[in-house]
Amino acid sequence: MASAADTRNRRLSLLATIGVCVLAVAHAWTWRACGPLDDDAILYRYGANLAHGLGLVFNPGERVEGFTAPPLVFFHAGVEGLGLDHVAASRVLGIGSVVAAVLLLSAAWRTVLPRSIVPWPALFVAAAPAVAVHAIAGLGTTLAMALVAAWLLGEVRRACEERAPRFSDFALGFAGLLRPELQLLAVVAAARLVLRREGRRAATTLAAPGVWLAFRLAWFGEWLPNTYHAKKLPLLEDLARGSAYFLHSAQDLLLPLVLVIAGVAWLTRNPPPLARWLSGAAIVASAGAVFVGGDHMPFSRLLVPGLPVFAFALFLHVLRSTGGLVAASSGIAVLAIGLVQFGQGERAERAASFDQLERRWQAVGAVLRERVPPGTLVATEAIGFVGYESRLPLLDMLGLVEPVIAHGAPHLEAEMKGHTKYDADHVLAREPGLILLGNGLLDADGRVPVFVSQRDLASHPRFAAEYEQAVIEVPGTYPLVYWKRRGN
């Protein structure tokens, strides 16, 4: 029979968890002016085409896997079929996923420390600006994080000889369908299970990626998605960029650097098996982000899904290092949470970026849909909201949904990850009816910016001979300066 003290402790723990959930929702909502990001709209267009019977395509008739989160394509197909707003649905999914991660992390923490009132790893996740930003940014980042938290809960409960959720092994593999770099952790986890003669669990972990691979081969006829080819650089170049990305992430998450140090300490000081495994898993999750070469999006997107493992392993290490002293470990936890709050100062900058880019591209896409003849091929690098709003066929000049460009040689002078594949000759050979240099933007002086990836096109003799400048008024923003094919 539970004592009065135990009952009081459980009530306080429940209230603390509810408070952390409220904090997570409120924190994410303060970033609502910063998203969703343009790439999220690529999923909207794939989902809309699927819902309208055109198949899993970006451009009708072209089977190209130009997305990295297959489950979200089907999610947005449902959103389209129900006639709901994609932006609102993306935000609800993102914020709801953070709440799910908080609940799962809280359950895992109290499995290890039943008398703990504050679920420190969950509080860290709820308070991290990077998590709040990506709850609004879309792209399934926080959903992947929640799935990793579900897997973590299963690992913790099994280590404590308690019943684990049946879906925990499956959740890790499914998370890899939302963030490809997590597939490295899924493979390592499955290999560990095989070595422990738990083949059924290993098969469960790899079930979702295996099913999608079979579908990919049947529908797209490829072993790897087109996004892999569009973004992949020579191995040493990716490792160099990925390492720089990892080091830079210390400003957003603090955890990766500290976690590696803590992980090494766990591995060399004969820690308990659970602590050793979680520290190793955190290092593997970081290695996945390094291997793919990092990312150009803000707030360390590729490391956010692994944050439940990072935070849990770190706070276990804190407890162990302080000998379980509540005051000392709580003080260190508060310090860690405080150190990641510097990102709060970027809220205005990120909101301004959203207004200048995503809102502009929404308006441009809408005006192109009204003013440009249906079927006109539009060449641009900003394919998200322009593509979703315009419904016109697009030629992606960075290759994300264009296999010829994606399989070309990379241009390493382009610093932004995912913007290193471009081919002016191929773009002009496709004879687009309309080209958006500068992605439909104007700089502070009212001129069209020509990015590194567009210089070859802008200086190409055929471009000058075959295209002429034109202007369209865009309601609510400045005019669109573009180039149309002569005679069109």
pLDDT at 328: 62
pLDDT at 212: 97
pLDDT at 340: 83
Residue 34, Cβ density class (10 Å: 0-12 exposed, 13-18 middle, ≥19 buried): buried
- pLDDT above 70 for 265: no
308 in Cβ contact with 152 (< 8 Å): yes
Dihedral of alpha carbons 304, 307, 309, 314, sign: positive
Q: How far, in Å, CA of 255 to CA of 248, rounded?
A: 11
Quickly state the pLDDT bin for 483 (edges 50, 70, 90). very high
This prediction's pTM: 0.93
Q: How far, in Å, CA of 29 to CA of 7, rounded?
A: 33
Which helix (H) or strand (E) covers residue 434, if one does? strand 434-435
pLDDT at 357: 93
pLDDT at 71: 96
Digit-coded pLDDT (tens) for 391-403: 999 999 999 999 9
- pLDDT above 60 for 53: yes
Digit-coded pLDDT (tens) for 221-240: 999 999 999 999 999 999 99
SS3 52: coil
For every residue of 361-406, which 3-state class applies, written as one string? Answer: HHHHHHHHHHHCCCCCCEEECCCHHHHHHHCCCEEECCCCCCHHHH
How much of the chain exceeds pLDDT 70, in percent? 93
- pLDDT above 60 for 332: yes
Average pLDDT of the residues in 336-355: 88
Average pLDDT of the residues in 280-294: 89
Closest CA to 308 of 47, 119, 115: 119
pLDDT at 6: 66
Average pLDDT of the residues in 18-22: 95
How many CB atoms within 10 Å of residue 469? 10
Cis check: omega of the bond before 36, within 30 degrees of 0:
yes
What is the identity of the amino acid at 99? V
- pLDDT above 70 for 431: yes
Digit-coded pLDDT (tens) for 165-223: 889 999 999 999 999 999 999 999 999 999 999 999 999 999 999 999 999 999 999 99
Measure Cα distances from 351 to 33, 86, 137, 417 in Å. 5, 19, 11, 22
Least confident of 25-29, 315-319, 349-353, 384-388: 315-319
Least confident of 28-37, 80-89, 135-144, 288-297: 288-297
pLDDT at 314: 80
- pLDDT above 70 for 44: yes
The domain ranges of the chain are: 4-350, 357-485
- pLDDT above 60 for 261: no
pLDDT at 102: 97
Quickly state the pLDDT bin for 369 (edges 50, 70, 90). very high
pLDDT at 191: 95
pLDDT at 13: 84
pLDDT at 128: 93
- pLDDT above 70 for 269: no
Quickly state the pLDDT bin for 2 (edges 50, 70, 90). low
- pLDDT above 70 for 90: yes
How much of the chain exceeds pLDDT 90, in percent? 72
Least confident of 18-22, 86-90, 315-319: 315-319
pLDDT at 202: 94
